[in-house]
Structures are given as C-alpha cells and as structure tokens.
C-alpha cells in the first residue's frame, strides 16, 4: 500500500523539486548546478502574469465545482429517477 504512494507520488514529487533547483544545459539535459534562479524568475512580469492567471482559473473552477456539487447533493434526493439494476430498467410488478 505505502510502496505505491512512495513510488508514484513521492518519487515524482521529489524528482520535480530536485530538477527545479538545477540549471538547463545549452544543448540537452540538466546541469547539477544547484541554484534558486528558477524561483527568482517567477517575479518576471511575463511569468508572474501567467502564474496569477493560472491561480485565478483554478480558483474559479474550484468555486464552480463546489457550487454544482452542492446543488446536486441537495437536490438529487428530490429527483425521481427510475431505479436501475445492472444498467437495465426494471419495471415494478403491479
């Protein structure tokens, strides 16, 4: 159980953090020259504007999903949907 978490969640996350502190080689790959320059560039107006727009989009999407989920949660018991078992409609015997 925990092996899956370490391999597929923590492994890539640790790799991403390590790569973020490296510098890019001129032709191909990364150089193991650890620097925080990549994080300083976030304050460049181009990157900062893109980052702010991404955060706005994420927050707007989250708010809409919460509102839709709230509406569906409170109104779904009121909907009269036919009962299905195994994907087939069954009629009640009268």
The predicted pLDDT at position 72 comes to 85
Q: Which of 41, 46, 50, 39 is nearest to 16 (CA)?
A: 39
Domain-located, residue 84: no
CB-CB contact of 39 with 16 (8 Å): no
pLDDT digits (tens, 9 = 90+) for 42-89: 889 989 999 999 999 999 999 999 999 998 888 777 666 666 665 555
DSSP H helices, 1-94, are 2-5, 11-20, 37-40, 45-75
One domain for residues 69 and 34: no
One domain for residues 33 and 48: no
One domain for residues 1 and 32: yes
- Alpha carbons 66 and 63: distance in angstroms, whole number: 5
Domain that holds residue 32: 1-41
One domain for residues 35 and 53: no
Count of domains observed in the chain: 2
27 DSSP assignment: S
- Alpha carbons 31 and 21: distance in angstroms, whole number: 10
Domain-located, residue 85: no
């Amino acid at each position: 159980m925990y092996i899956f978490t370490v391999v597929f969640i923590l492994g890539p996350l640790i790799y991403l953090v390590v790569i973020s502190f490296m510098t890019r080689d001129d032709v191909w790959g990364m150089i193991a020259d650890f620097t925080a320059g990549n994080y300083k560039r976030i304050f460049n107006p181009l990157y900062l504007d893109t980052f702010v727009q991404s955060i706005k989009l994420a927050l707007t999407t989250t708010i809409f999903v919460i509102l839709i989920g709230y509406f569906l949660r409170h109104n779904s018991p009121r909907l009269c949907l036919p009962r299905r078992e195994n994907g087939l409609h069954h009629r009640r015997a009268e």
